[in-house]
């Protein structure tokens, strides 16, 4: 098993991305006040971070990229700071004792741009007429100072002021909207513990509509020109929500919002209580319906249940992919068994060099991880039977609600529900590169 990275002041314990995130504390709450000028792409921000010291701190770091920092206060007192690369190093006037709660205020400004990396440009990005934020896995520091690691989950208040013709859709529940002569301030509250990469802001000339879908409140924000096609393509979202709740248990958040940008996007984007699609995903023919259910499933797997370390990412993507297969069968399409056989045959024709329990940082988003993760779940379903399998999934979701998860935690719970050891089964499917056969 890969050894976890040793955390330090400016390193996290993540085994894949230790340079993202920081040691010595954990975030409790972020309060973000942002003023954004669309025409000049200028962002002025004030971030107040409430944190808990995990040991005594004479200094600590935050992740922040491409912005100019004007002032840092720690518990109201000016602190020395140095902004180098993507790290904001802070030295408070007085050391912070272990187990003490403290507040950091950072005032900053600049022209935000995505963070570049092996996955392309990630983070705050300009659209042709608005803003898109897509932060998975390392884009959050492009627009606010943070402890950018998936295991550090906090609550948020997000206030964004921008030109009045534009709508601001942020993660959380809209609690206030204040309009002045030329700008409007949108204030969102996000009480559920949330990793930094799942916090999002979307800005555009959007029509905001409520979806009459039953269940938890469901909303959409989209260009008016796409409304007719959207009504058909997302017309079964309410049924999806009901189906996934049958499979996995209650929807874990207060509401769910879909945003469709006026620009095309390569892939949809997940955020806490929100999914973002491009105009190209709305064609009036339900061509991309599997993506609609995939992103919805991430609200359970990836959002409420967040990976403690990026090497466990199959727990996000394998489960969301299997949700596609479950929905296909539930909605009159190909059953999961047929899709499993099809994808098994396709993977058998491709190189067998991926161990999904530890795929390596370069293959975190490899399509084979998604499909083989789903195949692992389908094979487990065959191994233990439907009744125990779905009881396991509901227990997995309930026991780790709004927490962090690992592969060993899942395999241990699976053995409890199976009533017998499954070590060889999981070794074959998760820890070995060779593709196992699909047994009867």
Token digits for 155? 């609550």
Q: How many domains does the chain fold into?
A: 3
Residue 400 located in a structural domain: yes
Predicted local distance difference test score (pLDDT) of residue 117: 81
Question: Quick one: pLDDT at residue 440?
Answer: 65
Q: Is residue 19 part of a domain?
A: no
Would you say residue 436 lies in a domain?
A: no
Picking from 182, 204, 226, the residue at the C-terminal end of a domain is 204
Both 107 and 184 in one domain: the answer is yes
Domain that holds residue 403: 307-431
pLDDT on residue 215: 85
Question: Does residue 77 sit in the same domain as residue 117?
Answer: yes
Predicted local distance difference test score (pLDDT) of residue 119: 87
Say whether both 84 and 109 belong to one domain: yes
- Residue 18 belongs to some domain of the structure: no
Task: List pLDDT tens digits, range 335-369.
Answer: 999 999 999 999 999 999 999 999 999 999 999 99
Q: Which of 411, 440, 410 is nearest to 427 (CA)?
A: 411
**In sequence order, which residues have a C-beta less than 8 Å from that of residue 193 and are 6 or more positions away?**
153, 154, 155, 402, 403
**What CATH number should be reported for the domain holding residue 270?**
3.30.2010.30
- Examine the domain organization and report whether 248 and 143 are in the same domain: no
134 shares a domain with 61: yes
Same domain, 287 and 392: no
Indicate whether 44 and 90 sit together in one domain. yes
Q: 249: which 2 tokens?
A: 């248990």
pLDDT tens per residue across all 440 residues of the chain: 333 444 568 899 999 999 999 999 999 999 999 999 999 999 999 999 999 999 999 999 999 999 999 999 999 999 999 999 999 999 999 999 999 999 999 999 999 999 988 888 899 999 999 999 999 999 999 999 999 999 999 999 999 999 999 999 999 999 999 999 899 999 999 999 999 999 999 999 999 999 977 789 999 999 999 999 999 999 999 999 999 999 999 999 999 999 999 999 999 999 999 999 999 999 999 999 999 999 999 999 999 999 999 999 999 999 999 999 999 999 999 999 999 999 999 999 999 999 999 999 999 999 999 999 999 999 999 999 999 999 999 999 999 999 999 999 999 999 999 999 999 999 999 999 999 999 76
> Which pLDDT tens digit goes with each residue over 41-76?
999 999 999 999 999 999 999 999 999 999 999 999
Q: Is residue 95 part of a domain?
A: yes
Question: Are 198 and 213 found together in one domain?
Answer: no
Give the pLDDT confidence score for residue 52 in this predicted structure. 98
Q: Please measure the distance between the N-terminal and C-terminal CA atoms of the chain and give it in whole angstroms.
A: 30
Instruction: Identify the pLDDT of residue 44.
Output: 98
Whether 439 is in a domain gets the answer no
Pick the last residue of a domain from 204, 227, 248.
204
- Residue 14: inside a domain: no
49: CATH: 2.60.40.1730
* 204 neighbors 129 (Cβ within 8 angstroms): yes
331 and 387 together in one domain: yes
> 151 and 121: one domain?
yes
The answer to whether residue 285 sits within a structural domain is: yes
Question: Under 8 Å CB-to-CB from 359, ≥6 apart: which residues?
Answer: 311, 313, 314, 366, 369
Do 323 and 295 belong together in one domain? no
Distance between CA atoms of residues 32 and 124, nearest Å: 15
Instruction: Give me the half-sphere count of Cα atoms (radius 13 Å) on the Cβ side of residue 298.
Output: 25
What DSSP character marks residue 8?
B
- Look at residues 299, 320, 348 and tell me which one is the last residue of a structural domain: 299
> pLDDT at position 120, please?
87
| Pair (152, 244) in one structural domain | no
């Amino acid at each position: 098993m890969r050894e976890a990275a040793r955390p330090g002041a400016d390193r996290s314990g993540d085994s894949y991305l230790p340079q993202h995130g920081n040691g010595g504390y954990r975030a409790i709450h972020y309060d973000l006040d942002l003023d954004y000028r669309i025409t000049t792409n200028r962002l002025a921000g004030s971030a107040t971070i409430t944190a808990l010291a995990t040991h005594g701190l004479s200094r600590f770091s935050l992740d922040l990229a491409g912005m100019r920092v004007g002032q840092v206060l720690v518990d109201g007192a000016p602190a020395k700071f140095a902004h180098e690369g993507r790290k904001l190093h802070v030295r408070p006037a007085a050391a912070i004792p272990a187990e003490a709660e403290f507040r950091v205020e950072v005032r900053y400004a600049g022209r935000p741009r995505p963070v570049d990396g092996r996955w392309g440009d990630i983070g705050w990005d300009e659209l042709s007429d608005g803003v898109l934020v897509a932060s998975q896995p390392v884009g959050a520091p492009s627009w606010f100072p943070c402890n950018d690691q998936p295991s550090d989950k906090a609550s948020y208040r997000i206030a964004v002021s921008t030109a009045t013709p534009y709508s601001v859709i942020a993660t959380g529940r809209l609690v206030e909207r204040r309009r002045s002569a030329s700008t409007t301030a949108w204030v969102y509250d996000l009480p559920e513990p949330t990793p930094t990469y799942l916090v999002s802001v979307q800005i555009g000339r959007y029509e905001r509509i409520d979806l009459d879908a039953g269940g938890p409140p469901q909303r959409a924000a989209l260009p008016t020109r796409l409304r007719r096609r959207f009504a058909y393509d997302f017309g079964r979202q309410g049924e999806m929500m009901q189906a996934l709740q049958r499979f996995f248990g209650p929807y874990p958040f207060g509401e769910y919002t879909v945003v469709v940008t006026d620009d095309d996007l390569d892939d949809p984007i997940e955020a806490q209580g929100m999914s973002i699609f491009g105009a190209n995903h709305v064609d009036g023919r339900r061509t991309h319906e599997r993506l609609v259910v995939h992103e919805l499933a991430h609200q359970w797997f990836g959002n409420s249940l967040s990976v403690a370390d990026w090497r466990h990412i199959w727990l996000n993507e394998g489960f969301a992919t299997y949700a596609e297969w479950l929905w296909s069968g539930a909605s009159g399409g190909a059953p999961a068994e047929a899709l499993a056989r099809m994808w098994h045959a396709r993977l058998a024709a491709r190189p067998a060099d991926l161990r999904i329990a530890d795929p390596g940082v370069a293959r975190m988003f490899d399509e084979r991880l998604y499909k083989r993760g789903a195949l692992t779940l389908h094979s487990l379903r065959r191994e233990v039977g439907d009744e125990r399998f779905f009881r396991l999934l509901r227990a997995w979701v309930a026991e780790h609600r709004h927490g962090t998860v690992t592969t060993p935690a899942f395999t241990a719970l699976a053995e409890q529900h199976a009533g017998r050891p499954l070590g060889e089964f999981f070794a074959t499917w998760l820890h070995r590169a060779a593709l196992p056969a699909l047994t009867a």
